[in-house]
Structure 1
Amino acid sequence: MLDDFMTRATLAGVGVAFAAAPLGCFVVWRRMAYFGDATAHAAILGVALSLTLEMSIFPGTLAVALIMALTVTFLTGRGYAMDTLLGVLAHSALAFGLVAVSFLSGIRIDLMAYLFGDILAVSRTDLLVIWGGAALVVALIVWRWAALLTSTLNEELAYASGLDPKREQLILTLSLAITVAVAIKVVGVLLIAAMLIIPAAAARGLARTPEAMAMISACIGAVSAIAGLRAAYILDTPAGPSIVCVAAILFAAFNVIGWQTRSRT
């Protein structure tokens, strides 16, 4: 069954959707959209590092994404506004990564595949990495779900409950780095943040509890991956951007439905 490239692509897209869904909810709740974008942009530097060391893309992107996320967490509140700091680090990391890639000699690199994804080229090994990373992210979020929710709701309440909000932030940071590392093959650096934010934002108006929002977000992400791949196959369009387009259409549709429902009540 896995010999079919469309089957592998579909499984890869669904795996990334499951990894991004619960994490995307926290990104929306904490208003960390630019944080996810900065971490994703740093992944290009990880690609260059991996190719230089002749190793798999996953560990290099994971290491650099984690370093970026930890750096942002450490420097926040030390003299710079969060949006300024993220803007500097995000675009600097992307620029340094692209320059570093240009210095690699004897290696043919398809930058478009890393910037916008190449889901149709996913291999069986890539599937193992994607689903392994997704399982790890889901396990981390489920393990710390109550603590993460409390820290997101109110840091003072978290301290009063014996929790350390900074530790919960580090867990989110680690989960974000893993998600970026496994998603780069599917939707690419420039679209990872979209898969984190759009399904979660679309699910927000449909859910009544945080748990329901995470589950609905996963369903929206999975449907976006499947429908986007089908549309790309029929219309001969880029697969990664097609997946994000479907997610954006679902977001718009659910918002229109929500507005109509609220106007009638």
Structure 2
Amino acid sequence: MLDDFLVRAGLAGLGLAVAAGPLGCFVVWRRMAYFGDATAHAAILGVSLSLAFSVSVFAGVLLVTTVMAFTVSGLAGRTFHMDTLLGVAAHGALAIGLVAFALTARNGLDLEGYLFGEILAVGKQDLAVIWAGALAVLALIGWRWQALLTATLDQDLAFASGLRPRREQLVLTVALALLVAVAIKVVGALLITAMLIIPAAAARPFSRTPEAMAIIAAFIGAASALGGLYASFVWDTPTGPTIVAAAFVAFLLSGVVTVARGRQLT
């Protein structure tokens, strides 16, 4: 079954979706979208360093994104406001990564694949890495779920409960860096944040509990991955952007449903 490239692509998309759904909910709740951008853009620098030192792209991206995430978390509020620091980090990391890629890339390597993903080229080993990373993200979030929720909703309550909000922030930082490392093969560095935010935002109108929102976001992400993959195959469009476009359509539909419900209530 895994010899079919479309099957491998579909499974890769599902692996990304099941991890990005719950993690994306925390990104939305904590308003960390720009933080996700900064981490994702740093992935290109990780790719360049991996090529320069002939190591695994996954390892290089994971190292650089983790360093970026921890650096931004540590400096925020000390030297610059968070939004300023994230803006500098996001664009600076992307620019340095692109320059480093031009200097280190070997002939025949396609930058577009790392920017927008190449899900159709996912191999069996890539698939194993994607699912291992996705399950690790789910395990990390599941382990700290209640603590993460408490720290997200009310930091004073978290302190009163014996929790350390700073530690929960670091848990999300590690989970985000890990997801970026496994997702770059699927949707690319420029579109990773979209797969975190859009399914979670689309799930919000249909959710009564945080757990329900996480599950619905995962389902919307999975449907977007499979629907975008099919649309890309039929219309011969770039697969990564088509997957994100499918998620955007789901978000628009959720908005229509929200407006219709509001009119019924009035």
TM-score range, shorter chain: over 0.9
Is the counterpart of residue 80 in structure 1 residue 80 in structure 2?
Answer: yes
Residue 191 of structure 2 aligns to a residue in which SS?
helix
AA at the equivalent of 1:114: Y
How far does residue 243 in structure 1 lie from its aligned partner after superposition?
0.3
User: Gaps spanning 5+ residues in structure 2: where?
Assistant: none
How far does residue 46 in structure 1 lie from its aligned partner after superposition?
0.2
Residue 249 of structure 2 corresponds to: 249
Write the mapping of 1:51-90 to structure 2, written as runs, cut at 5 A: 51-90=51-90
Residue 162 of structure 2 aligns to a residue in which SS?
coil
> Hey, what's the Cα distance between the residues in 1 that align with 2:63 and 2:97?
14
AA at the equivalent of 1:172: L
Q: In the alignment, is the contact (CA less than 8 A) between 2:46 and 2:64 conserved in 1?
A: yes
Residue 26 of structure 1 aligns to a residue in which SS?
helix
Write the mapping of 1:190-229 to structure 2, written as runs, cut at 5 A: 190-229=190-229
Write the mapping of 1:148-163 to structure 2, written as runs, cut at 5 A: 148-163=148-163
> Hey, what's the Cα distance between the residues in 1 that align with 2:105 and 2:221?
38
Q: Deviations over 1:138-185 (max 9, x none)?
A: 000000000000000011110000000000000000000000000000
How far does residue 102 in structure 1 lie from its aligned partner after superposition?
1.0
Q: In the alignment, is the contact (CA less than 8 A) between 2:51 and 2:105 conserved in 1?
A: no
Residue 18 of structure 1 corresponds to: 18
Given the superposition, is the C-alpha separation of residues 161 and 215 from structure 1 closer, same or farther in structure 2, using an over 3 Å criterion? same
The count of aligned residue pairs is 265
AA at the equivalent of 2:180: V
> Hey, what's the Cα distance between the residues in 2 that align with 1:34 and 1:209?
25
Write the mapping of 1:155-194 to structure 2, written as runs, cut at 5 A: 155-194=155-194
Residue 207 of structure 2 aligns to a residue in which SS?
coil
AA at the equivalent of 2:192: I
> Hey, what's the Cα distance between the residues in 1 that align with 2:43 and 2:104?
16
Poorly superposed stretches of 4+, deviation over 6 Å = none
> Hey, what's the Cα distance between the residues in 1 that align with 2:245 and 2:103?
33
Is the counterpart of residue 232 in structure 1 residue 244 in structure 2?
Answer: no
How far does residue 108 in structure 1 lie from its aligned partner after superposition?
2.9
Q: Deviations over 1:42-88 (max 9, x none)?
A: 00000001111111110000000000000110001113111110010
Residue 99 of structure 1 aligns to a residue in which SS?
helix
Residue 45 of structure 1 corresponds to: 45
How far does residue 12 in structure 1 lie from its aligned partner after superposition?
0.2
Is the counterpart of residue 125 in structure 1 residue 125 in structure 2?
Answer: yes
Q: In the alignment, is the contact (CA less than 8 A) between 2:52 and 2:105 conserved in 1?
A: no
AA at the equivalent of 2:100: A
Given the superposition, is the C-alpha separation of residues 263 and 105 from structure 1 closer, same or farther in structure 2, using an over 3 Å criterion? closer
Given the superposition, is the C-alpha separation of residues 109 and 211 from structure 1 closer, same or farther in structure 2, using an over 3 Å criterion? same
Q: Deviations over 1:208-245 (max 9, x none)?
A: 00000000000000000000000000000000000000
> Hey, what's the Cα distance between the residues in 2 that align with 1:105 and 1:191?
21
> Hey, what's the Cα distance between the residues in 1 that align with 2:24 and 2:200?
6
Q: In the alignment, is the contact (CA less than 8 A) between 2:13 and 2:186 conserved in 1?
A: yes
> Hey, what's the Cα distance between the residues in 2 that align with 1:29 and 1:125?
34
When the two structures are superposed, what TM-score results if normalisation uses the length of structure 1? 0.99
AA at the equivalent of 2:110: D
AA at the equivalent of 2:121: A
Residue 138 of structure 2 corresponds to: 138
Give the RMSD, CA atoms, in angstroms. 0.8
How far does residue 107 in structure 1 lie from its aligned partner after superposition?
4.0
How far does residue 125 in structure 1 lie from its aligned partner after superposition?
0.3
> Hey, what's the Cα distance between the residues in 2 that align with 1:107 and 1:75?
38
AA at the equivalent of 2:2: L
> Hey, what's the Cα distance between the residues in 1 that align with 2:260 and 2:101?
49
How far does residue 262 in structure 1 lie from its aligned partner after superposition?
1.5
Residue 189 of structure 1 aligns to a residue in which SS?
coil
